[in-house]
Amino acid sequence: MRRNTLVLGATLLILAIFAWAGWANWEYRRQEAERLLSGAGQGELVPAPGGGTPQYVSPLNGKPAPAFELEDLTGNKVSLESYRGKAVLINFWATWCGPCRIETPWIVELRNKYAAQGFEVLGVDTEGDDLEKSDKAGWAKATAAAGKFVAKEKIPYPVLLDGDSISRDYGGLDDLPTSFFVDRKGVVVAAQVGLTSESDIESKIQKALNQ
Amino acid sequence: MRFLKGVFVAKIAALAVTALAAHGQSLNSTAQSRSLLKTDAVTYLFPEQVSVPAGKPSQVALHFRIAQGLHINSHTPSDDFLIPTTLSIPDGSGVRLASATYPAGTVIVLPIDPTTKLSVYTGEFIIQARIVATAGNHLVQGKLHYQACDNNQCMPPKTITVAIDVIGK
């Protein structure tokens, strides 16, 4: 009798483990699906009216730009929040990205043109995309590469490091350059993946300034 | 009867262990499918298996394919800020990469910036690897490091595994 009770107890315990494993698996998959389908998901390219440059439609459009605080090249912490009241272009780039190098002089020119109207650019370097936090030599090399590029292009705006740490919030950043145009209230009004044109960037800056 | 009960409990226990293992495995497969959301720009084609004389340098032609519409930097890119395509074989695999001969890159110009010339690979390309294997069967996990772009945008640098069964005779 006692043995039967033990066998029954063991069987019930094992069945409970089955139930727990199934529930945990289901719950994990549900959370992953929700995360992937959340507002930080992938955007899409849609044809522009009149056959112009295809426009990148980000799920972040119309939503507050995700907050962040990153270090700049000199180690100072810079937050997006501190630019509230200004229109901001958040430009994700890397030195190994040829198209990023092509558009940077355009962005520098436009930043200088519109700065007096309350416009600023935050360049976010994703150089260390494949680096571990503990890889000090790797980070030093990445920082040096970014610094060299900033000096060469005479970039007047803050360039922030470790962009990969905020990439998920901004939709994954599978491709560079990627830019988000944020209005004075901190809302994303436009986004762009890939190289377009100086005039296209300018029109989005104007949109961010005038919202 | 008692024996049958024991067998029954043992089977249930084995199933429970399998369920727990499957749970762990499902987490791994979910993580893998997530990383595959990013495009694989380069695919290793062949060979999957080679036989070489043990202890002697042997030439092996490794074939790769780049996804349509993309290019990767050649081994000797046109600018030092660009990431070159490189092949490596980790230490301790029983196979050493003595040298690698890369194809010359094709020079292209981006439509939006005709002043910049790039040295790239497109389509299929072959790396001639000179390897030295010790005697025996070695499952080599070579690495190809590259960085891919199309005409308007770039993907982060990536390393893919080049899996070859090397038999040193």
Q: What one-character-per-residue DSSP string does chain B give?
A: -HHHHHHHHHHHHHHHHHHHHHHHHHHHHHHHHHHTTS---EEEEE-SEEEE-TTS-EEEEEEEEEPTT-EEE-SS-SSTTSPPPEEE--TTSSEEEEEEEPPPPEEEEETTEEEEEEEEE-SEEEEEEEEEE-SEEEEEEEEEEE-EE-SS-BPPPEEEEEEEEEEE-
Rounded CA-CA distance B125/B65 in Å is: 6
User: Which residue ranges make up each domain of chain B?
Assistant: 1-37, 42-168
Where does the pLDDT of residue A13 fall: very low under 50, low under 70, confident under 90, or very high at 90 and above? Answer: confident
Q: Structure tokens of A40?
A: 């930080």
Tell me which of A55, A175, A197 to substitute to probe the interface with B (most B C-beta atoms closer than 10 Å): A175
Between A24 and B95, name the one with better pLDDT. Answer: B95
pLDDT at B112: 81
pLDDT bracket for residue A133 (50, 70, 90) = confident
Residue B160 pLDDT level (bands cut at 50, 70, 90): very high
Average pLDDT of the segment spanning A115-120: 97
Report CB contact under 8 Å: B154, A96.
Answer: yes
Q: Which of A173, A166, A168, A210 is nearest to A191 (CA)?
A: A173
Cα–Cα distance for residue pair B22/A21, rounded to 1 Å? 9
**Residue A18: its pLDDT value, please?**
79
Long-range CB pairs of A42-51, under 8 A, 24+ apart, other chains included: A42/A171, A42/A172, A42/A174, A43/A171, A43/A191, A43/A193, A45/A193
pLDDT of amino acid B37: 38
Tell me the average pLDDT across A160-165.
88
**Beta-carbon contacts below 8 Å between A and B:** 100
Instruction: Name the residue with higher pLDDT: A95 or B7.
Output: A95
Asked: is B42-168 a CATH 2.60.40.1250 domain? The reply is yes
How confident is the model over A166-177, as a mean pLDDT?
A: 89
Query: Can you read off the two tokens belonging to residue A50?
Result: 């009149």
| Phi, psi for A132 (deg, rounded to 5) | -80, 150
Residues 6+ apart with CB under 8 A from B72: B41, B42, B66, B85, B120, B121, B146, B147, B148, B149
Residues of B in contact with A101 (CB under 8 A): 81
* pLDDT mean across residues, chain A: 85
Please state whether B134 falls in left (phi above 0), alpha (psi between -120 and 50) or beta. Answer: beta
* Phi (first) and psi of residue A133, to 5 degrees: -60, -35
* pLDDT tens per residue across span A47-75: 455 555 555 678 899 999 999 999 999 99
In this predicted structure, the answer to whether residue A17 has a pLDDT above a threshold of 70 is: yes
The residue of B2, B3, B12, B145 whose CB has the most chain A CBs within 10 angstroms, and thus the best one to mutate to test that interface, is B12
Quote the pLDDT of residue B116: 84
The per-residue pLDDT for A139 is 83
Chain A residues within 8 A (CB-CB) of chain B? 3, 7, 10-11, 14-15, 17-18, 21-22, 24-25, 28-29, 32, 36, 94-102, 126, 129-130, 145, 149, 172, 174-177, 193-197
**Most confident by average pLDDT, A37-46, A137-146, B10-19, B138-147:** B138-147
In this complex, which of B23, B83, B116 lies closest to A25 when CB atoms are compared? B23
Q: Please state the rounded mean pLDDT for residues A192-197.
A: 92
Strand-pair partners of B7? none
**HEC readout, chain A:** CHHHHHHHHHHHHHHHHHHHHHHHHHHHHHHHHHHHHCCCCCCEEECCHHHCCCEEECCCCCCECCCCEEEECCCCEEECHHHCCCEEEEEEECCCCHHHHHHHHHHHHHHHHHHHHCEEEEEEECCCCCCCCCCHHHHHHHHHHHHHHHHHHCCCCCEECCHHHHCHHHCCCCCECEEEEECCCCEEEEEEECCCCHHHHHHHHHHHHHC
pLDDT given at position A41: 45
Of residues B22, B82, B153, nearest to A195 (C-beta): B153
